[in-house]
Structure formats: structure tokens, C-alpha cells
Structure 1
């Protein structure tokens, strides 16, 4: 037990910078103090780091490979705290001009157009969609992006689904449904869901083509 405090070798995985301990109603300092590297057992740990970006290996032949490597290193430096002036746990980071979209009226429109060029022409190409994605910080932004993307499928047949809600039959609940049937409500799902009729690849154990998605979950 002196050499192995836990009785045997144990492997811990994860990114400690992103996966923090949960301290109910705790302060930032409480969270920091609860991290594993402040434990009295930490001196017995051997830290192994992944140093090779495996995603870049499939892009060696890309024309912009050098710029991809530079961008990946910049992201790593942000995660390591080597970029920006940190103050009270927060840091201001200046973004390079080449990754900033400027001069726009609708932010959703410009990010979609820059990510999915000629979307209406190539939307049915699975490989085209698999190699690009839009990441958003909140569910509201995701819903806005999805609504905009769905509206671009003007040539495809669509169907709108509404949520089904039942409430206790009481005079005091007469206005409850009107409160529930808003576009979005707290952490609940949206009241309306618009689906576009398209063929798509589904991977649930086997590869298959799903048709008529707009009518049923699967056909």
C-alpha cells in the first residue's frame, strides 16, 4: 500500500480543464480545491499527455495543411492558458482577422453561407455535410440555425409537428396550454418541429437509408 496507495494501478481519463468537479452551491475556489491534482494522492500519479493531433494526419495532402496545423496549435495554446492575459480566472483573447466574419446584417445567415457554400445544390451529399458543422454556445442559437437551414430547403416537402400536452382539468389550468405552446419553453423541447422530406444515412448498428423522415421517425 505504500507504493500503491489505491492497492493497484488505476487509469484516470478525461480533460481536467473541461470536466470539473460539481460542488453544489460552491464557489470557484471550492471547485478548484476539489480538483484531483490538489489531492494528497496526486504525488503518486504519472501524467501521460497526448501530443500528436491525429485529426491532422488525414489532412496531410490538403493545400492548407500548414494553416490547419497553425490553427490547431493556437487552439492548444488557448487550452494551456498561453494565449491572452488572464485576470481573476478570465482571459481576453484576440481572434485572428482571417477567422472573423465581418460586415453582415444577419449573423445566422453569414455563418451558414460561409460554412455551407451552395447548400441548396449540394445538400444531399452526405460527405459534404459530414466535413463541416456549426457550433453554438446556447440551444437558442442552435434552434435559430436549424430554423434557417430548414427554410433553405424550399424545394423539399416539409411537415410541421406540434407537441401534445395534457393537463389536469381544472378552471385554474385554463391558460396553461397557451403558456406551454410557445416556440420554446425552458429546458423542454420546442412546441413546433419542422421536418424536411429527405433521404439520409442512419447509423444505428447498421448502415441504411432512411426515407420519408418527414412523416415518421423512420420508414
Structure 2
């Protein structure tokens, strides 16, 4: 077999491997000699070169990728892997590729194609480009699936009051039947919406399903297991308009999490602008591909519009501006469930009803802007000192005797609108405690 060796590079495929074989085999007489190693006939020159050990070992490439992963962004790592396939000729690509390719497959395909080759040219497992890869690969989905369901929250459904039980049963009916539904839990203060949310989350998660818990503020989100702020979870833009979309890509983990979620809870949605809720609605329809409200998911919104102060716009004429959810076209499609039992005033139904009348604007007004507080809820004003002493004695009776009882102290409070008044009353209360004063110093450290 005679011939002249010509130059070749790895991009040329089998021509390069033929040259590689000819450079290391003495006196071949048949093509079978070039396809063979250790008595075995291989289908390609590349495979024969691999078995002969003429192509770089994958261990060096693994070390390279490991070092790069310490400081490179994912896009750069994917590009590096594709470059290695083209120019570094790794040995035993299959064993290494199986550990990384499922997650990187589609993007690597594009990178290799941009270099003029196809993954079919390499000894890699064939993967259907349209495969629906398991969502468990995404960090967001793994985190939600790892949330531990506490027994206390599972038992919470047994302690729900009649209003909460109605809401729970209505929402779970949609979960059991797998039918869409959008609800708004109208919960005035002390109706304990959080207990309802915990019961729903625990029951659904105990079935192995995903339930997302979000809220408009971080403080409220922390009250729910696995809670996140709505802006963080759904990537809601800070600057909103009537056509805004959330910053979620369809191929991202956040998108897959939304597709996998059985139910989504957004507490204090009454505090959010309607454009934020509408942006999530449009985004979910786009991600899920269903032209129903929130993509056909079971959506539970909650809040209390009585706690949302009106916004005044001043121009030629002052007017109240309402940009909340109840001004959105979505509001008409949402089923409202109202919680009315004030759990903080169960022994005083009159006070509970009084608060609801004030919140609903049904309490009789004085001069259109004021309401009259009943006499049995007020302390007559004599002078500042005596009236303040009377307030303290009513809220904290027998303070010197009960001051060491923690249950007594945490079950009552005096609220004020100004810090200077808070400090003044606090100092006066401390002066009434028995025993010597002791100061404890605290400090912060990194």
C-alpha cells in the first residue's frame, strides 16, 4: 500500500484519523489493517485511533472543565465543551458526555453546528432533540420538591374555622378534580389567612405535588413554608406598564417550576399594582401555552384592600387613584371568598363586627371624614400625666406583681403613632417594674 501523506486537521474528520493511523502503523497492506487494533476490526478510523490511544485522554479535559467551572459562567462552559469536541479529540467521549449532555444537549448542538459540524459526527449517545428533559434537573424544581412538610401544618386543616374550612374545601376541590380556578381570599386583620395557606400548602405538598408560596412583602412570605416574594419568584419588572411581561425564559428553571406547580399562592396581592398581576397572567399563559387566566393554573390571591391607603393625585382637581387588582379586568373573573371571623376577638363579637363596619365603610361617619369611637373604648382626658397613667393601668393592671410573667407581658401592648410617645410610655412602664434595673449590651459581628 503506497501513497503520500498530506496535512489534515481534526475538523476534516475521517481524513484526519486516516492520516493519524498511517503515521503510526508500519507497512499496512489493506484498509483492514488501518481499521484494526489488537485483532479487532472497528467501523471507523476514529474508533481505531481511540483504541490505539492516539487521541487525548478525557481525564485532562475533565480537569480543564473542573478548573473552568470555578470562575466561568455557564454559557462559557458550554462553549468550552463544544470546542473540546471539535479540536481536542477527547477519548471515550461517551462515558464523560453522559454525565453532562442531558442538561447541555440543545445548546451544545447549536454551538457545534455553528462550527460546521454535527453531534452525529461524534461517538455520543443519540438524544432526540425534542426530548422533554425531566424538570427535576432544574435547581428551582429540586428546591421546591425538597421542602419538608411539618405535621403541625398537616393537622392545621382540622382546626380551621367555618370560613377557612369553606375556602379550603373549595380550593382543594379544584386540586382534586384538576380543574382551573382563580380565587381571592378577602381576609381582614386577625382572620388568620396564613393558617389557611399553611393547610393548603402542606396537604398539596404531602401528595408529592408542587405548591408555590409567595407574597408581596418579604415579612409575609417568611410566614409561609418555602415562601418567596412575588417579585423574586416571578421576576416581575420594577417598571411596569400595561403590556409588561415577567423576565422568565421558557427554557428556564423558573418556567418549568411554573409549569409543574399544582397551585400558586400570592398573599397580600392587594398591595401589588394591577400591572404586576396582569404581567404574571400574560407570562403564565405564554409559558404554559393555555389561553386561560394564569395559564389554567389554580391561583390563590389574598389580601385586604381595607389596609391599602388611597393615593391622591393633585392637578386641576384632586382625585383618588386606585391602581390595585380590583381595577383590573381580571377582577371580574376571580372568585371571592371572604373570611369574617376575627380570631383575635372571638370573645368580643361586637368589636369584630365594629372593625368590619369600619373597613367596609359602613360605620356612620361624622363630618364625612371621622367615625365616633364608643365611650367604653376610650379613656377620658383629664391631663396628659393622669390620662397616660390610666391608660397604663388599664392595659397593664397590677404590673408590679405580674411583671415577671412573660405570658402577661406578651399578651398586651400599647401602640402609638410617634416614636417619641413610644419611648416616653416605655420608660414609664419600665419604671414600674419591681427589682433593680440591669442593662444588657448587644453588638453585631460579621
Could you state the TM-score of these two structures normalised by the residue count of structure 1? 0.58
Corresponding position of 2:14: none
Corresponding position of 1:117: 397
Corresponding position of 1:49: 338
Q: Which of 64, 87, 100 in structure 1 is aligned with 2:378?
A: 100
Alignment of 1:124-203 (within 5 A): 124-153=404-433, 155-157=435-437, 197=438
Contact 2:365 2:372 in 1 (8 A): no
In structure 1, stretches of 5+ residues that fail to align are 58-64, 158-196, 198-213
What's the CA shift for 1:55? 3.2
CA deviations on 1:3-58 (whole Å, 9 max, x unpaired) are: 6232133222221221358x7x84574532x121111221111111112233345x
Question: Quick one: distance in 2 between partners of 1:144 and 1:30?
Answer: 36
CA deviations on 1:76-107 (whole Å, 9 max, x unpaired) are: 111111112277xx632111111111153223
SS in 2 for 1:144: helix
Question: Quick one: distance in 1 between partners of 2:301 and 2:441?
Answer: 42
SS in 2 for 1:51: coil
Q: Which has the larger radius of gyration?
A: 2
Corresponding position of 1:39: 328
Corresponding position of 1:181: none
CA deviations on 1:161-191 (whole Å, 9 max, x unpaired) are: xxxxxxxxxxxxxxxxxxxxxxxxxxxxxxx
SS in 2 for 1:155: coil
Corresponding position of 2:8: none
SS in 2 for 1:133: coil
Question: Quick one: distance in 1 between partners of 2:303 and 2:360?
Answer: 15
Question: Quick one: distance in 2 between partners of 1:69 and 1:112?
Answer: 25
Does the alignment pair 1:72 with 2:352?
A: yes
Corresponding position of 1:184: none
What's the CA shift for 1:109? 2.0
Question: Quick one: distance in 1 between partners of 2:374 and 2:301?
Answer: 35
What is the count of residue pairs matched by the alignment?
149
In structure 2, stretches of 5+ residues that fail to align are 1-284
SS in 2 for 1:11: strand
Q: Measured at CA, do residues 39 and 217 of structure 1 come closer, stay the same or move farther in structure 2, by a change above 3 Å? A: same
Corresponding position of 1:85: 365
Q: Which of 10, 16, 26 in structure 1 is aligned with 2:299?
A: 10
Q: Measured at CA, do residues 48 and 14 of structure 1 come closer, stay the same or move farther in structure 2, by a change above 3 Å? A: same
Question: Quick one: distance in 1 between partners of 2:436 and 2:320?
Answer: 53
Question: Quick one: distance in 2 between partners of 1:29 and 1:143?
Answer: 37
Question: Quick one: distance in 1 between partners of 2:333 and 2:425?
Answer: 47
Corresponding position of 1:216: 441
Contact 1:20 1:35 in 2 (8 A): no
Q: Measured at CA, do residues 20 and 103 of structure 1 come closer, stay the same or move farther in structure 2, by a change above 3 Å? A: closer
Deviating beyond 3 angstroms after TM superposition, the runs of 4 or more aligned structure 1 residues are 25-31
Could you state the TM-score of these two structures normalised by the residue count of structure 2? 0.30
Q: CA RMSD in A?
A: 2.8
